[in-house]
Structure 1
């Protein structure tokens, strides 16, 4: 039996969270087409007959300017010192390869073995286009393996899991087989709501948004709903207006889509009440970051 912790590292929006969800067969990490969707380190447990891989999905490594972004990058880099292996993920687009090349030197001092995955191969018009990309990526570091994948449709994921298993140390499982994550339901509920804000609103609104769960009540009777009250925090009055929408249309849409995912998460009906509150400059102040759980 093999077991160990694996950090998923890479630039923003390269598919780290999509890969984690694909490997787990469960939606643990929220996703969107906007970078820096992941803000916390997320733990997900993948069980194989011969191994237990404990993934740590991390925020994207980028040039951090705000206090929130610096906190996110620090969380990702600190993880590198705590794991048995590293999964370095890049995407095959021109911009994605450039960002991956910039991140690669940060992994040179990592003591753990590093496996690199080139993601989004489903975007390539021809398979032949993959060969020069693999050759280029191979020059950036001493990778134990270099695996092309599509986290979206699962191509290459099984092979990647096999390569990760090879480099893990021998040992008993670190978690019980039925455990998928150590994250509480309150945290997952807040993340699912924040995901809908990222997906449904544009411009800079998502990046100044945080979600806190004010109340999470389990029902006393089996057929009754879980009652969740949550607050969407924004930094400007104008952002509050966008989140609420004309006649409350946007907040209703956010709530409806979030509730559907929450019902899948808890396995039953959910009553969701959403509030919107302005917290000026929360993402740029230590007190604000702590209040939002960062």
Structure 2
């Protein structure tokens, strides 16, 4: 290995934390573009999505994971299993705790889980600092320091951009020396159909009742250029809910809500793919899919 290559660092970091503590927003901010969906609804993230941060002397691959929680369904068990397996495969873990919420049982539960991953350094990242006063942040940093013996503790705001470079510096500092893992310019290794499905689900989550986020799944069946045109992509997607009452909520009065979901999703998909999009979106009922192993597999949640 040449001197220049030996100075280069590359590897994987994982963000862990309770649901809705800003993990996906932070990853998007560090990568510099939207590769993970965000929502005010807990448990929005359902897959381990990888975003790639390129630096002249380093490549940091960030794995965004679902929030760790005590599972109540088979889907919940699979999400927790996904998180725990990811923690053992990365070079450094970022434990996200918001500045706005007191340290609680959920944080202590996760701190215990992280302590069991003996060989991996854990950096505590205090998120959402733009929503907290300096006094709040100082108190939270102290409370977090008493949770565990972290490699480092750093406050950050993904919204204002404060300390984003510092977080990257700290995470990169824990990576091994080695060549880049991905070609320059790549920002994620997620298949386009998965990203498109996630954008549709994000649009559907906006403004729905609290019981729906866990019940919505989206599968993109097909994406193809419109025949005879090179400026239009046809996207065919199915949205699944568990009960007829949920289908009615998503469709809304005279179909207005579904129309709004389609419009917002289409704009996001066009921004992602850089082309005009025709979105063909239908809703189907898959009864109790979160508890059914066969349906979980069909919707992309594997063992």
TM range (shorter): over 0.9
User: Is 1:122–2:130 an aligned residue pair?
Assistant: yes
User: Is 1:206–2:235 an aligned residue pair?
Assistant: no
Alignment check: 8 A CA contact 1:218 1:226 kept: yes
Alignment check: 8 A CA contact 2:43 2:213 kept: no
Which residue of the other structure, out of 255, 277, 281, is the alignment partner of 2:262?
A: 255
TM-score w.r.t. length of structure 2: 0.93
Alignment check: 8 A CA contact 1:105 1:140 kept: no
Which residue of the other structure, out of 176, 185, 210, is the alignment partner of 1:178?
A: 185
Alignment partner, residue 5 of structure 2:
none
Map Cα deviations across residues 257-288 of structure 1 (whole Å, 9 max, x no partner): 00000000110100001101011011111011
Alignment check: 8 A CA contact 1:88 1:117 kept: yes
Shift in CA distance, 96/243, structure 1 to aligned 2, threshold 3 Å: farther
SS at match of 1:213: strand
Gaps of 5+ in 1: none
Alignment partner, residue 67 of structure 2:
60
Alignment check: 8 A CA contact 1:8 1:56 kept: yes
Map Cα deviations across residues 55-95 of structure 1 (whole Å, 9 max, x no partner): 11000000111011111111011001111111111112335
- 1:230-269 alignment, distance < 5 Å: 230-269=237-276
Alignment partner, residue 171 of structure 2:
164
Matched length: 293
Counterpart CA distance in 1 for 2:97 and 2:140 is: 11
Following TM superposition, the consecutive aligned residue runs of length 4 or more in structure 1 with deviations greater than 6 angstroms are none
Higher mean displacement: 63-72 or 198-207: 198-207
Shift in CA distance, 222/155, structure 1 to aligned 2, threshold 3 Å: farther
Shift of 1:242: 1.1
Map Cα deviations across residues 115-173 of structure 1 (whole Å, 9 max, x no partner): 11001111223x13322211111122221110001122221111111111111111111
Counterpart CA distance in 2 for 1:17 and 1:94 is: 18
SS at match of 1:27: coil
TM-score w.r.t. length of structure 1: 0.96
Counterpart CA distance in 2 for 1:29 and 1:155 is: 20
Which residue of the other structure, out of 92, 105, 108, is the alignment partner of 1:101?
A: 108
Which residue of the other structure, out of 6, 26, 48, is the alignment partner of 2:13?
A: 6
SS at match of 1:200: coil
Map Cα deviations across residues 165-193 of structure 1 (whole Å, 9 max, x no partner): 11111111111112111111111110000
Shift of 1:103: 1.2
Shift in CA distance, 75/115, structure 1 to aligned 2, threshold 3 Å: same
Alignment check: 8 A CA contact 1:115 1:143 kept: yes
Counterpart CA distance in 2 for 1:284 and 1:8 is: 27
Alignment check: 8 A CA contact 1:3 1:51 kept: yes
CA RMSD between the two structures: 1.4
